[in-house]
Structure 1
Amino acid sequence: MFGFLSLIAVGTLLIWLFNLSQKPISLINALFTATSAVCVTGLIVVDTGSDLTLMSQVVVMALIQLGGLGIMTAMTIVPFLMGQRIGIRQRFYFIKEKGLEYPSGAVKLLIQILKVTILFEAIGFIPLFIKFSEEMSHKEALFTAAFHSISAFCNAGFSLFSNNLESYSNSFMIPGAIMFLVILGGLGFPFYMEWVSKAKSHKRLSPYAKLVLSTTSMLIIFGFLLILFVEWKGAFVEYNLPLKLWNALFMAVTPRTAGFDTISPSNFSKAGYIIVVLLMIIGASPASTGGGIKTTTAGILWCTVKSNLRGKKPFLFNQSISSDLIVNTTTLITLYLTTIFVSVVLLSLFEPFSFDQILFEVVSALGTVGLSLGITPHLSSAGKLVLVILMFWGRVGLITFMYGVFKKREKENINLPRAYIPIG
């Protein structure tokens, strides 16, 4: 937590200083921008392309990259690249950040993360550079393509264009490259490590990897179909069939913590809002560059409910689900939904916007998504601070935060008698 806070503090100071002489911005706006970048959210209170200087934009890009990798990953990469030995404590912190239990294989995972990040961001950079070169100088296209490639793979949603990617709603290349990066960034680094190891040994994927793939695929497919259906004569009414399909697919992929849009969410119907909010709540996969409650959490919840309704013990791909995992899943979802409820109430007290606008903003911030109905720059200082806290919680993780703040050491474990209480 202190690592993320330190990075946000440094980023805030640099953005504020680099803009001070040419395009001064308030300290609260610098804080909001730095937090949004480190927490790879993408919500903005100042226009990234026009209100920030080039140096501030470079700082934002660096914060996105560091925040997307994870603060402990970034702190482990530095001594690794300098040829220093990585101690057991550093390995433990790094591996825990990725949601794993044991420090064995930490260096291997670190190398894998570096390779995956460089490879995918380089692949995504090429089509972006080609397309941007048609519209601007090669020097400007170079930076713009690099910025958007990093922002997309890290699921940040920051764009150098005032209307995000809405000018490219009639294009296929740029939205396609962005979707490619967003999906790959949201699968999670441990997933790639397992994929490589299992491909070499020709072994089957673990239930974790299968759950990540199946949940991600189902969310994209059902999100695409639902958005296409409800917005066919709404937000997509002016587009031909191929562009309707393409934009519906894009808007099914990016709400899962990326925050890019080719069509403004403010043009969506109420039903469209609800679908996007649900996608934002679920988010990406564990140990990825994205946020939300995570695909595996949603998958475990679905398997538990389905098995319970059938009168069976919870199972997943012919393997049982432990009671500890169910308890952790229930705890996370309860904390997440409670945080959304409390935050909506708080913002409703001192912001003049409608309920759906506030709910959308809160879910977007906590899920580190970055989509907005256009109210972010118009929030009061108190409202911006609420979103800053939500973005921080969403990136660090609610359970991690609560565990770090409230956990007490127990002298002994006591087995209490079971309580049988009727529910439902």
Structure 2
Amino acid sequence: MKHMDLLKLSPPRILVTGFALIILLGGILLSLPVSAAPGKAPLPFIDALFTSTSATCVTGLVVADTGRDFSTFGQVVIMLLIQVGGLGFMTMATLVALALKKRISLRERLILQEALNQSSMEGIVRLIRKVIIYSLTIEAVAAIIFTIRWSFDMSFGRAAYFGMWHAVSMFNNAGFDLFGEYKSLTGYVDDFVINAVAMALIILGGIGFIVMSDVMDYRNRRKLSLHTKVVLSCTAFLILFGALVIFIFEYSNPKTLATLGFGGKILGSFFQSVTPRTAGANTLDIAGLRQATQFFIIILMFIGASPGSTGGGIKTTTFTTLIAGIIAMIRGKEDIVLFRNRLAKDRVLKALTITMLALILVIFVSMLLSTTEDYNFLMILFEVTSAFGTVGLSMGLTIHLTVFGKIMIMLMMFAGRLGPLTLAYAIQPNKEKELYRYPEGKIIIG
């Protein structure tokens, strides 16, 4: 492709191309012998590409044990892929440009607008500066706390490495860990410090940089935007309601909460409610959860995080808009109102489009994998939804996937990170202006 052809690409196509190239580069690096742990054979390229996709799309589904199968070089590559994938490659490119004191062009601002899911370009570079400052500050503080806590369990150097690595992974909602044996944070199920810091990182990474910026500016402006109010209220509701449901369903389950004290039960319930915000880390054995809990987590994973965040899913604002629309329709109201603000019809239509595209994608791939993977349907649905929501939770299917299964899950992670609508815009032909409108017709609904 010529340089001029690249310049003509639309912002969605540039985002898709950029992420694809980063994934490919990561796959090549992770398949090198230097990325394999001492005494281990280099990963097959399909597994290296899967790991690269999972890291860049900040998911956390793994076909190789990050702590045991990769060398320090391989683990650092994964951490960098998580950081670039979480913040977005355009954010990282802007960081370099700002460091070199280069001017951000109009076209670059348009791409940043698409990447951060913003409605306008106004203040976009200022927002990018805040994204970088907030991210690095939060990760640094969390890394210090993790280091202090883990220095009681391991050498200080190893604790510092673990602290930095997991701070990046948790804040970017990636779900990768270095503890080995695919056990994530199950060894710290009732450890308050680890749970509190990890949950704080997941929530902050999942609410989105726009919301963080708005909250930080509250002291000066004394008001929050409608977007921030919706994100914070929906996130709080999903976490509290989710924790309550998990606590009730798992209270007497000997494989999860039954063996823990009351404090451990509370922490375990809250962590498993927070992690479907697309984090992927877990303190309870996901395969040991009751089926009702597993299905409930599928719903939470499908909703996912918030716009402009490091997470995936249909997003909290989309979910809130749909629920508000249902309530308005039942009440016979013409307008959908949130916090005394009326939503435009195109917002509702966009929410419906995103949800239907996501549902079609998840259902289609789940049906497809149910014919190629010899496992029960709930396990497959859980895996596919986890990939789409870029969550990373698994009931144990990932390491048993066929090559076809791995390819489909990679495509789901890619679609989930970029968003089904961005992907649809990227692959559709160039839009042409409609020169006429058809007459309005009526059909019976319901």
**Matching residue of 2:35:** 19
Q: Report how far residue 5 of structure 1 moved.
A: 0.5
Q: Is the 8 A contact 2:287 2:396 kept in 1?
A: yes
What whole-Å deviation, never above 9, does each CA across 1:22-66 have from its counterpart, x for those lacking one?
A: 431110100000000000000000000000111000000000000
Matched, 1:241 2:241: no
Matched, 1:161 2:179: yes
**Matching residue of 2:352:** 330
Q: Report how far residue 407 of structure 1 moved.
A: 4.2
Which structure 2 residues correspond to residues 15-414 of structure 1 after superposition, within 5 A?
A: 15-17=30-32, 18-19=34-35, 22=38, 23=40, 24-162=42-180, 163-202=183-222, 204-234=223-253, 235-313=256-334, 314-414=336-436
- What one-letter code is carried by the residue in structure 2 that aligns with 1:3? G
Q: Is the 8 A contact 1:124 1:180 kept in 2?
A: no
SS at match of 2:67: coil
SS at match of 2:66: coil
- What one-letter code is carried by the residue in structure 2 that aligns with 1:150? V
Query: 2:112, 2:295 → 1: CA distance?
Result: 36
What whole-Å deviation, never above 9, does each CA across 1:70-117 have from its counterpart, x for those lacking one?
A: 122122211111221111111121122111132221221111001110
Q: Report how far residue 413 of structure 1 moved.
A: 4.3
Q: Report how far residue 241 of structure 1 moved.
A: 0.7
Query: 1:104, 1:119 → 2: CA distance?
Result: 24
Q: Report how far residue 411 of structure 1 moved.
A: 3.4
Query: 2:411, 2:80 → 1: CA distance?
Result: 21
Structure 2's unaligned 5+ residue stretches are 1-15
Query: 2:49, 2:231 → 1: CA distance?
Result: 34
Q: Is the 8 A contact 1:70 1:97 kept in 2?
A: yes
- What one-letter code is carried by the residue in structure 1 that aligns with 2:401? L
What whole-Å deviation, never above 9, does each CA across 1:144-198 have from its counterpart, x for those lacking one?
A: 1111000000000000012110111131111111001000011101112222334
Query: 1:230, 1:62 → 2: CA distance?
Result: 38
SS at match of 1:258: coil
- What one-letter code is carried by the residue in structure 1 that aligns with 2:432? E
Q: Is the 8 A contact 2:307 2:317 kept in 1?
A: yes
- Structure 2 counterpart of 1:9, from 24, 38, 61: 24
Identify if the C-alpha distance between structure 1 residues 416 and 97 changes in structure 2 by more than 3 Å, giving closer, same or farther: same
Query: 1:418, 1:225 → 2: CA distance?
Result: 47
SS at match of 1:179: helix
Give the aligned CA root-mean-square deviation in angstroms.
1.2
Q: Report how far residue 410 of structure 1 moved.
A: 1.7
- What one-letter code is carried by the residue in structure 1 that aligns with 2:267? W
Q: Is the 8 A contact 2:35 2:72 kept in 1?
A: no
SS at match of 1:205: coil
Query: 1:413, 1:189 → 2: CA distance?
Result: 39
Q: Report how far residue 199 of structure 1 moved.
A: 2.5
- What one-letter code is carried by the residue in structure 1 that aligns with 2:125? V
TM-score, normalising length from structure 1?
A: 0.98
Query: 1:210, 1:157 → 2: CA distance?
Result: 27
What whole-Å deviation, never above 9, does each CA across 1:276-311 have from its counterpart, x for those lacking one?
A: 111100111100011110000001011111011000
51-60 or 170-179, larger mean C-alpha shift? 170-179
Q: Percent identity?
A: 39
Q: Report how far residue 419 of structure 1 moved.
A: 2.2
Structure 1's unaligned 5+ residue stretches are none
